[in-house]
Structure 1
Amino acid sequence: MSSPQFPTRLADLTLNDSTHNPSLYASLRSIRKSALSIPNRLSSILDDTRFAKEVSRHYGFPLVANERCGSWYIDPADKVGSAYFKSTDGHHGQWAFSSRRLNLPLLPVLAAHGGAVIVDSTRRGKNLPDAFSKTVPIWVTVINRALFPEASDMHYLQSPPPPDELGMSEISQIEARLDEFTEAFRNLGLDLESLRMELGRPISISWAINGFFSTGQHYQDPKAVERHGSLSSSGPTFRHIVLCSASRRVRGAEISEGGYIQGAGDDSEGWSHGLTAQIFWQYRELLMQCPEEELPALIKALVEQDHSLSSITEVTKVIPTSNINIAGGLPETLEEFDLILSCQGDEKGSTSRLVSLNCRSGKLGSKDLRDKLPRTVEAASKQLAKDPKSQILVTCSTGKDIGIGVALAILCLFYNDQGQLREPSSNVVFDKQLVKQRLAWITCSKADANPSRATLQAVNSFLMQRP
């Protein structure tokens, strides 16, 4: 007897039924999903890692990750630091020098090693991320102008190589904004002379692009070569940044690349099942040997294990103050702190020494911050009035966002430009410029501090409403 599912008459035939005749789109989507599998991504990352290491050996410079993507392409044993150059600051018409991402911890790395290879990648369709074609060149130009005003021949925008060179119109539009960017950096109130002495020399850029780079050659902006010679012959004239685009460009579909995925480490939240670059490198052999169907379960187990074993992130003191500290989570011992402001703790657990704010994570936490800041500020004010030298610790789950907002509000309200406790009678104008200056203290002290726009808006709103 025939199955009731099987058509026995012409009228029963349904040619567009996807269960009998899957669409071409569905088939292609299935093939593409297979090509973009986790094993292919991890294998592609390891392939690109070899290129980044080759560039590092060629120049003799250490590797720095442009977070968050860059850390996937660097063995932690070879990594000396991180940078936070965002492609959005280089998008056409939105060019910016970010006061939230000053990247000044990169300066001592450049001074100590003479240069650094900054690693990032981009997905299919491009050779360079916008961070490397425009954001970093803008940053370098501002640093050169602000710290070395006499080196006028290094005040131009250094441009990437063909076929990724910038058009003359875009270069002109960016250069028209460079004076404004430089002035904004100067107005942050940082000790520029100390930064100048720390860096020592202006910065020059070269690019190393997977698929174009060979150890026998490199690309540097022709203007720099014309004025000062090539990197290999310039000796100690400059600090050198090599922008390494780790992934080779894929021009067709991923299925034509034998499993290779360009920019496999990019936007990892969408494919990693919680796997981080740190966990990947710690367990890469185990992960690469695991059958694909068992990978999600293995990743889940490794992530849970990492969370259970993870320790407190390092407590960071905000310079130039001597008593405001930031961390992620709570340290095992709290004896050295006179007041702890915990953004994620349960308010029921609050004491005179531990103030828990119970802020949620993400944008919801930033929204909570608007309501919790008055209580937080009051606790800090009372403690500092009792003892101006009180050690205050501000914590949140990551130490990068909500807690940064709390520390920022305290710095604006109670500390002068020298990092000393302000006199109660002082007349202070609470404006966005003050917020930018105090945020610069935090980002110079803690390189990975990255408060969201919503968090900064909460702080601005709170401060501007004060009499």
Structure 2
Amino acid sequence: MELPSERLNIYKASRTIKRKDNTLYNALRSIYEDSIFVGEISQIWPELPLVGNLRCGLWYSRKFHSTCYFKSTDGHTNNLSFNTSRLNLHVALLAAQRGGCMIVDSTRKGKRFPDSMSKTIPIWACVLNRAILNYRTRLNVQESTNSNKLDSIGQGTCDWDCSIHLPLWVSATEKAMIQNRLETWTKELEASGADIASIALSLRKPLRPLWISQKTVIWLNEVPHYDSWDFTPIILVSASSSTGRLQHHTTSEFSWNYIAGAGDDEESWARGLSPDVFWKHAYDIISSGPDSCNQMIANIVEKDRVCRAQRGEYAPQVSVKPSKCPGSANEFHLGSPTYLDNGTVADDGKLIDNNVISFLGSTNIAVGSIQLAMEVRTAYCILNCDKESFTISPENPEMYMHLPILDSKFDRISLLRNLPAALDFAKTQLRKGKTLLVCCSNGEDISICICLAILASFYDEAGNFDDGKSFSDETRITKLELRKRLVFICKYAVNARPSRGNLKQVFCCLNGGGYTHLVS
């Protein structure tokens, strides 16, 4: 009979083997090999912009024209949804301007495509197509005397494809579930206040996804030009191999194990390395081999941190602690946060920085990361929501407030607890006509939620500052109204990705009392 201690030892040995397989070098080498495939596909249609899906997709190319955020959870069988918090309208506009685009992502689960590509993006494309058709139909009715106006900017309403295009591996039952909810999702999009008009006026052909993986067979002498299709292609490139097991590779110098979707969940393996820094040193890292990789990454991350600190950028000290995974003596874990330096490619092909401060329309509110706030600390009044603090002009200490707010994963009411102070500070500065910069670690979550609360509290529906007159003790903001303001923010801060837990805290703050003194 097997003793419990023996069984536990087997489990421990299994976990140890798994940790050895999922080493830093294996992950980076797998990413490097998969990026070759992505590069080959991008050269088939070089005119189409390459878009990386946050966060996993960003590892698989040296350069991206832009980024997007399509979550696989929105395409899970029991969680099918069209999320107005992640509209990605900038992707539709980019595809309209360039005749299409390619989106890069990956998956660890041994499938050919992640659910973000199998269902989330097809649903998104279909709902947008339906909303555009509805907009054009209404415009035709209103301007029946000028019926040629729409045809002059593209297709009219007669041959606009609004059907859902799903890959063959999605079951008929699940397709029927999606079709039954398309009308509801379209109404939600139209009610959200999204700028459908801009897309409708620039998109000549309906959006339609195409799928390409490492198993896709492409005859290069028969590849059609994308402009010859009767739709605007959203080419979905799944970077990883769909094998369900580890592949062992051996070179003349060393061996390594392939990890499908290695770019996923970077906090658990990247050790402070970002995609941008990785690609600056990719050749040296890959050539270093498994034994030297960890120490090389530590040196690269620390050197990058020092360089950023010398430039006056936000560069917290990297903490080092021993790894639980047994192995060579130089194995360790870097406990620093990972920052994604997202990139955008200009028309001349040069990489330009997309990690910039986003001004929210004509309001006096801007949002960005803490490192960017430190670079412009003397130009704005700053509301810093990151755990790290910094100082601005000592002559004007009242123009800076530090509220170390934790994500809802670590403290489910941290944002709710600090929102009253944040709103009070914002009201004081906005009354003076100051430009308020709200920042957090990445400018994508907590700072977005703070801006959402400020817009809902002190601005009317048209985006004009009213000093809170439209918000009183009797006022209760609805989820639809809050969603409209979030859509407004995402129009300018395209990398915004507020978590559900933090959004719930904003809604609770604005509707749960404890706010009377802020509007007095």
Q: TM-score, normalised by structure 1?
A: 0.83
Match of 2:375 in 1: 332
Residues 348 and 116 (structure 1), Cα distance of their counterparts in 2 relative to 1, 3 Å cut:
closer
Q: Percent identity?
A: 31
**Structure label with greater radius of gyration:** 1
Moved more, 59-68 or 144-153: 144-153
Residues 294 and 155 (structure 1), Cα distance of their counterparts in 2 relative to 1, 3 Å cut:
same
Residues 26 and 255 (structure 1), Cα distance of their counterparts in 2 relative to 1, 3 Å cut:
farther
What is the one-letter code of the residue matched to 1:285? Y
Q: Is the 8 A contact 1:145 1:152 kept in 2?
A: no
How do 1:176-215 residues align onto structure 2 when only pairs under 5 Å count?
176-215=180-219
Q: Report deviation, 1:442.
A: 1.6
How do 1:65-84 residues align onto structure 2 when only pairs under 5 Å count?
65-76=52-63, 79-84=64-69
Q: Report deviation, 1:283.
A: 1.1
Q: Is the 8 A contact 1:366 1:402 kept in 2?
A: no
| Cα distance in structure 2, aligned partners of 1:138 and 1:17 | 49
Q: Structure 1 residue aligned with 2:233, among 240, 243, 247?
A: 240
Residues 48 and 151 (structure 1), Cα distance of their counterparts in 2 relative to 1, 3 Å cut:
farther
What is the one-letter code of the residue matched to 1:376? A
Q: Structure 2 residue aligned with 1:157, among 164, 174, 189?
A: 164
What is the one-letter code of the residue matched to 1:333? V
Residues 290 and 196 (structure 1), Cα distance of their counterparts in 2 relative to 1, 3 Å cut:
same
| Cα distance in structure 2, aligned partners of 1:234 and 1:304 | 46
Q: Is the 8 A contact 1:35 1:255 kept in 2?
A: no
| Cα distance in structure 1, aligned partners of 2:509 and 2:446 | 14
| Cα distance in structure 2, aligned partners of 1:191 and 1:124 | 36
Q: Report deviation, 1:399.
A: 1.0
Moved more, 145-154 or 177-186: 145-154
Residues 424 and 134 (structure 1), Cα distance of their counterparts in 2 relative to 1, 3 Å cut:
closer
Match of 1:454 in 2: 501
The alignment yields a C-alpha RMSD, in angstroms, of 3.1
Q: Is the 8 A contact 2:25 2:290 kept in 1?
A: yes
Q: Does 1:40 align with 2:26?
A: yes
Secondary structure, aligned partner of 1:105 = helix
What is the one-letter code of the residue matched to 1:292? P
Q: Structure 2 residue aligned with 1:356, among 398, 402, 424?
A: 402
Moved more, 59-68 or 454-463: 59-68
Moved more, 413-422 or 27-36: 27-36
Q: Report deviation, 1:429.
A: 4.4
Q: Is the 8 A contact 2:408 2:414 kept in 1?
A: no
CA-to-aligned-CA distance 1:333-379 (integer Å, 9 cap, x gap) = 33432x32111365999932112223245634662221221122122
Match of 1:396 in 2: 440
Residues 409 and 41 (structure 1), Cα distance of their counterparts in 2 relative to 1, 3 Å cut:
same
Q: Which consecutive unaligned segments of at least 5 residues does structure 2 have?
A: 135-156, 251-255, 315-354
Q: Does 1:386 align with 2:427?
A: no
How do 1:93-242 residues align onto structure 2 when only pairs under 5 Å count?
93-149=78-134, 150=157, 154-161=161-168, 165-216=169-220, 232=225, 235=228, 237-242=230-235
Q: Is the 8 A contact 1:323 1:391 kept in 2?
A: yes
| Cα distance in structure 2, aligned partners of 1:23 and 1:447 | 48
Secondary structure, aligned partner of 1:355 = strand
Residues 347 and 435 (structure 1), Cα distance of their counterparts in 2 relative to 1, 3 Å cut:
farther
Q: Report deviation, 1:134.
A: 0.2
Q: Is the 8 A contact 1:121 1:246 kept in 2?
A: yes
Q: Report deviation, 1:153.
A: 5.2
Q: TM-score, normalised by structure 2?
A: 0.75
Residues 195 and 18 (structure 1), Cα distance of their counterparts in 2 relative to 1, 3 Å cut:
same
Match of 2:418 in 1: 372
CA-to-aligned-CA distance 1:392-432 (integer Å, 9 cap, x gap) = 11111211121111111000111122221137543654111
Q: Which consecutive unaligned segments of at least 5 residues does structure 1 have?
A: 1-14, 219-229
Match of 1:227 in 2: none
| Cα distance in structure 1, aligned partners of 2:280 and 2:249 | 31
Q: Report deviation, 1:217.
A: 8.9
Secondary structure, aligned partner of 1:183 = helix
Secondary structure, aligned partner of 1:249 = coil
Q: Is the 8 A contact 2:85 2:497 kept in 1?
A: yes
Residues 286 and 134 (structure 1), Cα distance of their counterparts in 2 relative to 1, 3 Å cut:
same
CA-to-aligned-CA distance 1:23-71 (integer Å, 9 cap, x gap) = 7766665555444333232222122111111211223322111111111
Moved more, 390-399 or 306-315: 306-315
How do 1:234-273 residues align onto structure 2 when only pairs under 5 Å count?
235=228, 237-255=230-248, 259-273=257-271
Q: Report deviation, 1:86.
A: 0.6
